[in-house]
Amino acid sequence: MDFNDSPEEAAYRAQAKAWLEANAADHAARSAGGRRPNTDDHMAAAKSWQARKAEAGYACITWPKAWGGGGGSPIQQVIFNQEEGKAGVNYGYFTIGLGMCVPTVMAFADDETKQRFVGPAVRGEEIWCQLFSEPAGGSDVAAARTRAVRDGDDWVINGQKVWTTGAQYSDYGIVLVRTDPDTPKHKGLTMFWIDMKSPGVEVRPIYQMSGGSEFNEVYFTDVRVKDSQRLGEPGQGWQVALVTLMNERLAVGGSAGPNYAEIMNLARDLPAGNGPALSDASFREKLADWYVQAEGLKLTRFRTMTALSRGQTPGPESSIGKIISANQLQDLSNLAVEMEDQYGIINDPALAPMEAAFQQSLMWAPGLRIAGGTDEILKNIIAERVLGLPGEVRVDKDVPFKDMPTGR
């Protein structure tokens, strides 16, 4: 493991830092730490930040310059992400599109489609969403029931997706549908890109406990897409989805919300019994646990960075990062809100300590433990692919999809 930047990496970091110092100040306050109020003002600010990054070669750093990217390496992307995080700019609207959907379009679409869509997405002019999960298929993405039937040069889509982040403001999406129910579940799927304003697409925001509506139900009623919108061959949708999901593991790897240093600050300020929470013995015990976890995570991330720095691809072991950080965020936020006593129930940033950062993260952390693979699914991945334990029993692997029991 290598803890230090190479000379080239240090030079890149210095250059990124200088650029952020010159450009990020006005955006640090406006970006609201990754929370997405979905107001027109906030969206406009997010789009202008993305355009500014694209112009300077800091948007999609690993993508070829010909496609509007920075022509750089994965380690440069990690370095820029770290520095952008330190500069306090985090809008969050483009993560799914640029992290998962557009890479899938780049891998499977024809040149004309790529020319049309990649540049506007990199510059933040158009936003994409990922339409995979359904009421009966979340962890088991291959259980998708939304149906597409061929009709001449078109396909006609009917069904429902759920938990679609950002569907309400997205221009385009990638949608996984069942085109052949006579084959086993992984074989009868097909992927399309879709215009979210197409007739028959209805987006219904889901109201969350945080008061926000970040994700949605999306209904499809006789929605027509052209065969030229197909990504990959008919029946090969699972292979296309795997490309999206591999990108998702990398895009969702980090965690949003307060970190160990911030809870130390809170612990110094908040009263608990006869002194600040920092002098409370049971609280100190918790702090020690989080410190050990945070150090372990830091070292695991160094391992990932070392792999990237050497031109290797991080393996399934990076799944552990999300399990630990999401659980730690939930645990840490829970205790912080308890420590805030009667202020803990106030979710108004103008009134609650630290602009209600812990109240927000308490409500966001359960979602983080589910999005991009639940704790249990990630543990299965670690068990099977890292530790080499026997695989899960998969009884429906060879059964035609139409013969699978549905409970109805």
Measured CA distances, 110 to 118, 190, 231, 232, 259 (Å):
12, 16, 9, 10, 43
- Residues 136-195, interacting with ligand FAD (CB under 6 A): 138-139, 163-165
The answer to whether the beta carbons of residues 232 and 239 sit under 8 Å apart is yes
Determine the length of the chain.
408
- Phi, psi angles (nearest 5°) of residue 93: -75, -20
Span interacting with ligand FAD, options 75-83, 149-157, 352-360, 364-372, rule CB under 6 A: 364-372
List % helix, strand, coil for the chain (3-state, nearest 5). 50, 15, 35
- The only residue of 54, 243, 335, 371 in contact with ligand FAD, by rule CB under 6 A: 371
Q: Does 370 bind ligand FAD (CB under 6 A)?
A: yes
CB of 131 to ligand FAD, least distance (A): 6
In angstroms, the CA 250 to CA 95 distance is: 11
Cβ-based nearer residue to ligand FAD, 132 or 358: 132
**Residue 392 has what DSSP assignment?**
P
Active site residue 384: no
In angstroms, the CA 313 to CA 315 distance is: 6
Cβ-based nearer residue to ligand FAD, 274 or 406: 406
The answer to whether the beta carbons of residues 96 and 122 sit under 8 Å apart is no
Cβ-based nearer residue to ligand FAD, 327 or 380: 380
CB of 54 to ligand FAD, least distance (A): 23
Strand (E) or helix (H) holding 162:
strand 154-165
The b-or-e profile of 155-189 (16+ CB within 10 A means b, else e) is bbbbbbbbbbbbbbebbbbbbbbbbbeebbbbbbb
In angstroms, the CA 86 to CA 77 distance is: 14
Angle, alpha carbons 42-130-38 (nearest 5°): 15
Cβ-based nearer residue to ligand FAD, 206 or 346: 206
Angle, alpha carbons 238-169-104 (nearest 5°): 25
Cβ-based nearer residue to ligand FAD, 108 or 128: 128
Q: Does 63 bind ligand FAD (CB under 6 A)?
A: no
CB of 249 to ligand FAD, least distance (A): 12
Q: Does 107 bind ligand FAD (CB under 6 A)?
A: no
Q: Does 101 bind ligand FAD (CB under 6 A)?
A: no
CB of 359 to ligand FAD, least distance (A): 17
C-beta nearest to ligand FAD: residue: 138
Q: Does 376 bind ligand FAD (CB under 6 A)?
A: yes
CB of 168 to ligand FAD, least distance (A): 12
- Residues 116-135, interacting with ligand FAD (CB under 6 A): 129-133
Cβ-based nearer residue to ligand FAD, 215 or 401: 215
Q: Does 397 bind ligand FAD (CB under 6 A)?
A: no
Cβ-based nearer residue to ligand FAD, 264 or 320: 320
Helices 7-23 + 40-56 axis angle, to 10: 140
Active-site entry in 217, 248, 338, 384: 248
The residues annotated as belonging to the active site are 248
Q: Which residues bind ligand FAD (CB under 6 A)?
A: 96, 129-133, 138-139, 163-165, 215, 367, 370-371, 374, 376-377, 380, 392
